[in-house]
């Protein structure tokens, strides 16, 4: 692993104290940042809550957008200096508008957010077009810069960054990871089991499985599922994300920090998720709280670092569903009476 290779240089002493220094700097910086985050939070909280509503957002947003559009239309037929001034102001105000939108994402509905982003995109496009018309490119300082970059452009090896990133020295413990891959692939009609020792802290990959039962006892770092059909996959607590792609007619049970589900159909998920689950290009996905259990589950929860008391299994974001107010038709909650409560080994 690179990180290891980087510090396993000849001069261990220097490397160590370098690492310690970096650590110390990082800690200091983190402290300062936490403080400033807190200051900002306080400032925000004291702001009137009334501002945080859609009316305020949309009227401010639209007024500002119109102002920028006016600036842009003022460029046509104007002299170069005026156009340049208008464009400069429009650029700055567009960036501010983007910032305003970003700051408002907390209380905006997905649909309104998308709409505002689309409006901003249109604005950006007309900004670019107006600029190309009013100020032909050759005047840009940018050009000169690009040319300089062409000459000096070089792979990292030619312009070495600080010593810690020098190319790995020969003989260092370099794995390409291929032999390290943990999981199952290209199997059908089987019972597949991994023990705690096999999956602990590992990145586990399951691909091209058909009609299999998979049991992963233990706590992997991350879990990827791809091309899964008619399977029942039960897994212990995953400390970061579970990534699912092209899964059909299957049942999954897993605790994790994030669940990201893509191109998946007719699949039931018994989920414990401490942040959020998302679906994209999915239909017929249904959710219920995680209910699988095995003897060392508690210990594995501890290893994973997941908060066992925090389960957002029913808060699913559908990245394809724009309408505000109406729930996504692509996922449902499994009715209580239909939920699995017992699992065979």
Partner 1 sequence: MGLLTILKKMKQKEREMRLLMLGLDNAGKTTILKKFNGEDVSTISPTLGFNIKTLDHRGFKLNIWDVGGQKSLRSYWRNYFESTDGLVWVVDSADRLRLEDCKQELSALLLEERLAGATLLVFANKQDLPGALSKEAIREALALDEIKSHHWCIIGCSAVTGENLLTGVDWLLDDIAARIFTSD
Ligand X SMILES: Nc1nc2c(ncn2[C@@H]2O[C@H](COP(=O)(O)OP(=O)(O)O)[C@@H](O)[C@H]2O)c(=O)[nH]1
Q: Going by DSSP bridges, is the β-strand pair 316-318/283-289 parallel, antiparallel, or unpaired? A: unpaired
Least distance CB 109 / ligand X (angstroms) = 21
From residue 171 to residue 200, what is the string marking binding to partner 1 with x (rule CB under 8 A)? ---xxxx--xxx------------------
- Of 286 and 304, which has the nearer Cβ to partner 1? 304
Residue 312 engages ligand X in binding (rule: CB under 6 A): no
Among 9, 93, 115, 260, binds partner 1 (CB under 8 A): 260
Among 60, 91, 190, 221, binds ligand X (CB under 6 A): 221
Euclidean distance between the first and the last CA atom of the chain, given in angstroms as a whole number: 36
- Of residues 229-248, which lie at the interface with ligand X (CB under 6 A)? 240-241
Among 60, 210, 229, 240, binds partner 1 (CB under 8 A): 240
Least distance CB 124 / partner 1 (angstroms) = 6
Between CA 90 and CA 307 the distance in angstroms is: 46
Kindly state the tokens that stand for 24.
Answer: 């110390």
- Of 251 and 275, which has the nearer Cβ to ligand X? 275
Binding window for partner 1 (CB under 8 A); candidates: 41-49, 51-59, 208-216, 256-264: 256-264
Least distance CB 179 / ligand X (angstroms) = 19
Q: Measured in whole angstroms, how far is the alpha carbon of residue 68 from the centre of its chain?
A: 32
Report the partner that residue 161 touches, choosing among ligand X, partner 1, none (CB closer than 5 to 8 A by kind): partner 1
Q: What is the CA radius of gyration of the chain?
A: 27
Q: How many residues bind partner 1 (CB under 8 A)?
A: 90
As a dihedral over the C-alpha atoms of residue 243, residue 244, residue 245, residue 251, rounded to 10 degrees, the angle is: 170
Between CA 201 and CA 330 the distance in angstroms is: 33
In the chain the beta strands, taken as DSSP E runs, fall at 182-188, 191-194, 203-210, 213-216, 222-229, 232-235, 238-248, 251-262, 265-273, 277-280, 283-289, 316-318, 331-333
Least distance CB 135 / partner 1 (angstroms) = 6
């Amino acid at each position: 692993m690179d990180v290891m290779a980087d510090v396993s240089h000849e001069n261990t002493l220097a490397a160590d104290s370098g690492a310690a220094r970096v650590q110390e700097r990082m800690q200091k910086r983190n402290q300062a940042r936490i403080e400033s985050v807190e200051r900002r939070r306080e400032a925000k909280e004291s702001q009137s809550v009334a501002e945080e509503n859609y009316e305020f957002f949309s009227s401010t947003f639209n007024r500002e957008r119109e102002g920028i559009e006016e600036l842009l239309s003022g460029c046509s037929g104007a002299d170069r200096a005026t156009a340049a001034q208008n464009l400069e102001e429009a650029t700055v105000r567009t960036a501010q508008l983007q910032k305003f939108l970003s700051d408002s994402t907390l209380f905006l509905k997905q649909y309104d957010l998308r709409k505002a982003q689309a409006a901003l995109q249109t604005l950006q496009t007309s900004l670019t077009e107006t600029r190309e018309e009013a100020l032909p490119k050759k005047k840009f300082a940018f050009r000169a810069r690009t040319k300089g970059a062409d000459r000096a452009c070089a792979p990292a090896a030619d312009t070495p960054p600080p010593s810690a990133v020098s190319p790995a020295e020969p003989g260092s413990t370099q794995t390409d990871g291929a032999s390290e891959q943990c999981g199952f692939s290209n199997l059908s009609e089987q019972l597949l089991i991994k023990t705690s020792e096999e999956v602990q802290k590992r990145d586990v990959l399951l691909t091209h499985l058909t009609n299999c039962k998979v049991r992963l006892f233990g706590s992997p770092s991350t879990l990827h599922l791809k091309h899964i059909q008619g399977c029942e996959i039960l897994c212990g607590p995953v400390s970061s994300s579970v990534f699912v792609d092209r899964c059909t007619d299957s049942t999954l049970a897993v605790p994790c920090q994030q669940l990201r589900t893509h191109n998946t159909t007719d699949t039931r998920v018994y989920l414990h998720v401490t942040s959020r689950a998302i679906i994209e290009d999915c239909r017929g996905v249904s959710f219920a709280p995680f209910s699988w259990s095995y003897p060392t589950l508690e210990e594995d929860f501890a290893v994973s670092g997941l908060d066992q008391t925090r389960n957002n299994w029913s808060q699913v974001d559908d990245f394809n569903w724009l309408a505000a107010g109406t729930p996504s038709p692509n996922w449902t909650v499994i009715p209580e009476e239909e939920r699995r409560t017992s699992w065979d080994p």
